[in-house]
Amino acid sequence: MTPASKSVYYFGFYLLVLGLIVTGFPNLLLSTFHLPETNEVWIRVVGVIVFNIGLYYVFMAPEKNTTFFMLSIFTRLAILLWFIVFSVIGWAPYTLILFGLADAAGAAWTYFSMKKE
pLDDT in tens, 21-76: 999 999 998 998 888 899 999 999 999 999 999 999 999 999 999 999 999 999 99
Global pTM value: 0.89
**Mean of pLDDT values over 104-112:** 97
- How far apart are the C-alpha atoms of 51 and 76, rounded to whole Å? 15
3-class state of residue 42 by DSSP: helix
- How far apart are the C-alpha atoms of 106 and 37, rounded to whole Å? 27
